[in-house]
Structure 1
Amino acid sequence: MAQQKAESLHEIADRTIDRTSGETVTVGEVIDASAGRAFGPLLLLPALVALAPLIGAIPGVSVVTGAIIAVIAVQALFGRKSPWLPKTLNDLSFKRQPLEEGMKRVRPVLEKIDTVLSPRLSFMAGGFGFRIAMLCAVLMAILMYPLALVPWGVMLPAAAVTIIGIGVTADDGAWILAGVVVSTAAAVAAYMLWTSAWAGLT
C-alpha cells in the first residue's frame, strides 16, 4: 500500500457532516466528502456506520458497509495505490439524518482517541503485518452478512474493522494489531455461535 498521510479522526466525522447536504446522500458523496482517496478512512467510515446504533440497526446497512469494507480491504491487500468502488456501491443512496446524528455521537469519542494515536509498530502499518490486518478486515466484512440476521450481531466485527481503520488512518500499528486481536475474537465468537445454533437444529 502506498504511504498515506495520517489524518485526524474527528475531522473525518466533521467532513462527513459539513460536506454533505440534502435529505438523501449517496455512498459516493459521503466517501468523497469524508474519506477521499485514502484507505484508512475508507475502512473506518463504513465500519463506524455499521457500529453506530442509530445507523447500524437499519435493515440492510450492514450488508452495504460489509461490501464496501471487503472491496477496499482486498484492494489494500493486493497493494493498489488508491481505492476504487464500483458504480453500484457508489450510487446507493440513504437518508442523511441518521448518518449526521451518528457522526455527531461518535465525534467526541474520536476526538479523545486522537489524543492517544501516534506512528508506532511500523511492521503492522506496512508489509506482512498490514496484509494480515487486511485479511482480517475481509473476514470481518464476510461475517457481517450472516451476523446481520442476529440482533446487534455485526457489532463485534464492525468494532474490529473500526479499530483497524483507526490504526491505518493514523499510521498507528498498535491499533492495527489490536484490531487483529479483536478480529480473532470475533471469528471465534461467530464460530461458537454457529456451532451452538447447528447443535440446536440437529
Structure 2
Amino acid sequence: MTLDDERTLNNLLDALNEAGEGDDVSVQDILDEIGERSIMPVVLAVSILLVSPLSGIPGMPTLSAIILLLLVGQALVGRKHLWLPGVLSRRRLARSKLHRATSWLRRPATWFDRHSHPRLRFLALNPLRQVTLLMCMAIPLTWPFLELLPFVTSFGAGAVALLSFGLLTRDGYFLIAGYVVTFGIAGVVLTVVQAAT
C-alpha cells in the first residue's frame, strides 16, 4: 500500500502490520510496505512506535533517534527517495511486539484521524516546514541520554509524532500541539536541571 493519497494513522498502522513475512520484521520491510518515496510517513511510523511500550526495549530509543535523524535530514534537503544504511535497514523486531504496539496505538490513531483536516496550512509550508523539520531532528538528539529512564523518550516521540502528522496532513493545529508539547518538555527538563544544581 502507499500512504501518498490516504494519509491516516490507521492506514499507517495497517501498513506496519502487513510489513514483511515470518516471525520478525526488518526496518527494510517497513520501508518496502510504506514506500521509499514517502519520507514523512516513515518518520511518523518510527515516532508513533516509540510512543508505544516499544520505547522500553533497550536500545530502541537510540536506534529510533538515529533513523529519525537520517530520515528528517533527507526531508530537510529535499530528497525524494529515502535511504538508510544496511546496518539500520536490516535491524529486526519481533512481529508479536510490533502487533502489540500497533494494537495499543489503534484507539488514539482513530481519534487523531477523526479530528484532523487541513487547517492553518501555512504552518506546514516553507519556510515554517523547514523549522518544524529542524525541531524533529533536535528532539531525538536527547534520546540516547534519556534511555536509562524507561519510557521517558515516549514524550519526545509524541512531540515528533504530532509535528510529523501535522506536516503530513497539513494540519496546523497538530503542529501547534507538537510545539506546545516540545516546549513543555523543555521547561520540565530545565526545571529539573536547575533544581539539581
TM beyond 0.5: yes
Alignment-derived partner of residue 27 in structure 1? 27
Alignment-derived partner of residue 121 in structure 1? 120
Does the alignment pair 1:176 with 2:187? no
What is the alpha-carbon distance in structure 2 between the residues aligned to residue 120 and residue 6 of structure 1?
Answer: 17
- Higher mean Cα deviation, 93-102 or 177-186? 177-186
Alignment-derived partner of residue 95 in structure 2? 96
What is the alpha-carbon distance in structure 2 between the residues aligned to residue 88 and residue 49 of structure 1?
Answer: 20
Alignment-derived partner of residue 12 in structure 1? 12
Does the alignment pair 1:131 with 2:126? no
TM-score, normalised via structure 1 length: 0.87
- The gaps in structure 2 that reach 5 residues or longer are none
- Higher mean Cα deviation, 31-40 or 41-50? 31-40
Q: Cα–Cα, structure 1 residues 35 and 194, in superposed 2: closer, same or farther, change >3 Å?
A: farther
One-letter amino acid of the counterpart of residue 38, structure 1: S
Q: 1:67, CA displacement in angstroms?
A: 1.1
What is the alpha-carbon distance in structure 2 between the residues aligned to residue 35 and residue 109 of structure 1?
Answer: 24
**Contact map agreement 2:36 2:82 (CA 8 A) in 1:** no
Q: 1:36, CA displacement in angstroms?
A: 4.1
**Contact map agreement 2:61 2:143 (CA 8 A) in 1:** yes
- The gaps in structure 1 that reach 5 residues or longer are none
TM-score, normalised via structure 2 length: 0.89
**Contact map agreement 1:66 1:145 (CA 8 A) in 2:** yes
One-letter amino acid of the counterpart of residue 31, structure 2: I
Alignment-derived partner of residue 163 in structure 1? 162
What is the root-mean-square deviation of aligned Cα atoms in Å?
1.8
Q: 1:183, CA displacement in angstroms?
A: 1.6
Q: 1:174, CA displacement in angstroms?
A: 2.0
Q: 1:35, CA displacement in angstroms?
A: 5.2
